[in-house]
Structure 1
Amino acid sequence: MTTDDLPPLALDIDGTLTDGSGRIDPRAFAELPAWPAPVVLATGKAFPYPVALCGFLDVAERVIAENGGVTLVGGAVSYAGDPDRVQRATAAFRDRGGDLGWGDADTVNRWRETEVAARLTADESLLREVAAEFDLELLDTGYAYHLKAPDASKGHGLELVAAALDRDPAEFVAVGDSENDASTFETAGRSFAVANCDATARAAADTVLSESYFDGTLAAMRRVRSTFE
């Protein structure tokens, strides 16, 4: 095998393509376009964010956004979950005194289509109460609480993207750091958690790296590449 046979990647963004301050590591702009197989950005962020990042990175628009609620590959967009139920739950949360915590502009949710995110300072107990009442899942990504339908996940999104690329999900190598990456790890053939990962990602990953943030992602990419050289 040669490096032309390298597997496709499914990469989280926050905590994985970023540095410790939350900025995209500038090395990503050279490393990801140079990878010879498809690169998929799999994130909890609202749909426009990873699409824009694909443009800045100069990689094809292959996106799993909103924790699997939205996928984009080959110019086709797919949706999962139940946005109406999420909106009803969010209204109930607010009616009971809850605050999502982002202020009036709320750019975190303004372009979000399938789920709602709350700042980690929001009332977690009330969010979990509302989630249970509306048969929703509350996901703690370390950056926000995400109120979402249980059938929307990054792992399911990876299955959709793989099918569109005529690939087996087991061909993918996944890198991530958080609870929302566990389903990606379970779906991909090989998975790495960077050192700054949470307990759920640590337990789900095949390998936990000693390097953090994009240093960890680079280490994973180098390990994979070394097996093909």
Structure 2
Amino acid sequence: MAASPSRGAEPDLRLVATDIDGTLIDDDRRLSPRTIEVLGALPVPVVLVTGRPLRWLEQLYDQLPAPLPAVCANGAVIYDPHTDEVLRTEPLSSELLVDVTRRLRDAVPDMSLAVEIDDGRAFRHEPTWPLRWTDPRVRVIGTPADLTSAPAVKLLARSATADPDDFLELVSKALGGVAEATRSSSSALVEISAAGVTKAAGLAWFCDRERVTASQVIAFGDMPNDIPMLTWAGHAVAMGNAHPAVRAVADDVTGTNEADGVAVYLQKVFNL
């Protein structure tokens, strides 16, 4: 059951920031009619803040009456769908990728690696990477050096056997602060960005451009990669299905993504 907004009637709320998977959409990756209606009725703009790469926005945009601006790849890419323009990108350099992959191979067993390149429009992976979809933009690398030959907006590390939280801790220790590590999946999949690149940093850049302050933002999320954004935003809402660490930093908890938790909460906040 959704909590009552503790500061929901604030007239100074000027932007809604929401994660996508496990938050705005249901487990079938669909927007509910109620969510679409509420998004269209909001008196303030909405920005998507997601771990998804740029190419994965198409699936959501196809369900919306109009596309929404997006902070993608956990803050590494900021995209304006109206002009089809990448406004900002903060990739891992080739040199940093070489250092990071060396650290991971030395410290982390049972691991496969992949990279999001070309601002998240393309994906390259090791032969051991488990593919769950077919896409012409997804290709296997020919040699290990191919993985680090171009800047990447995200490096991904996957374990087939580790506990997800334990694997994140192991990867984070191996990185030693040279890059950011987080996770948004229920599996042992860690997402690695350049140092300082988080959902909070990307959203802060976007809001500064729009002349919106942190105190004027209400944000929704469900997984550890949402924690920086929720900590930064003036009002943070965890989903009913959120990871315990997300609930710990949130101001409120709403219903699950399967129960239209974002839409229900926004209706109360904006008296829709």
TM-score (norm 2): 0.68
Indicate the SS of the match to 1:146: strand
- Quick one: structure 1 residues 157 and 126, their matched pair in 2 at CA, closer, same or farther if it must change by over 3 Å? closer
Task: Give, as a single letter, the amino acid of the residue that structure 2 aligns with 1:10.
Answer: A
In structure 1, list runs of 5 or more residues that go unmatched: none
Greater fraction strand: 2
Alignment of 1:70-149 (within 5 A): 70-73=77-80, 75-85=85-95, 87-88=97-98, 89-90=100-101, 93=104, 98-100=111-113, 101-103=129-131, 110=138, 113-119=152-158, 121=160, 124=167, 128=171, 131-132=174-175, 135-143=178-186, 144-149=189-194
Gapped runs of 5+ residues in structure 2?
A: 1-8, 114-128, 140-150
For 1:186, the aligned partner's letter is T
Q: Which moved more, 1:48-57 or 1:160-169?
A: 48-57
Give SS of 1:57's match: coil
AA matched with 1:135? V
Partner of 2:251: 206
Amino acid at match of 2:180: E
Cα separation, 1, equivalents of 2:159 and 2:268: 34
What is residue 220 of structure 1 aligned with on the other side? 265
Which residue number corresponds to residue 64 of structure 1?
71
Higher relative contact order (CA 8 A, sep 6+): 2
How big is the shift at 1:195?
A: 0.8
Q: Does 1:187 align with 2:226?
A: no
CA distance in 1 between counterparts of 2:134 and 2:161 reads 14
CA root-mean-square deviation: 3.5
Q: TM-score, normalised by structure 1?
A: 0.79
Query: Which one of the candidate residues 242, 249, 257 is aligned to 1:197?
Result: 242
CA contact (8 A) 2:14 2:212 kept: no
Larger deviation, residues 92-101 vs 140-149: 92-101
Which secondary structure does the structure 1 equivalent of 2:195 belong to?
A: coil
Question: Which whole-Å deviations, capped at 9, do the CAs of 1:126-170 have from their partners, x for residues lacking one?
Answer: 961784267223212234310222300111111111122122232
Number of the residue aligned with 1:155: 200
Q: How far has the Cα of 1:202 moved from its partner? A: 0.7
Deviation at 1:9? 0.6
Distance in structure 1 (CA, Å) of the matches to 2:132 and 2:32:
31
Q: Is the deviation greater in 160-169 or in 191-200?
A: 160-169
Size of the alignment, in residue pairs? 223
% identical equivalent positions:
25
Cα gap change, 1:22 to 1:64, in 2 (>3 Å): same
Q: Which stretch shifts more, 118-127 or 30-39? A: 118-127
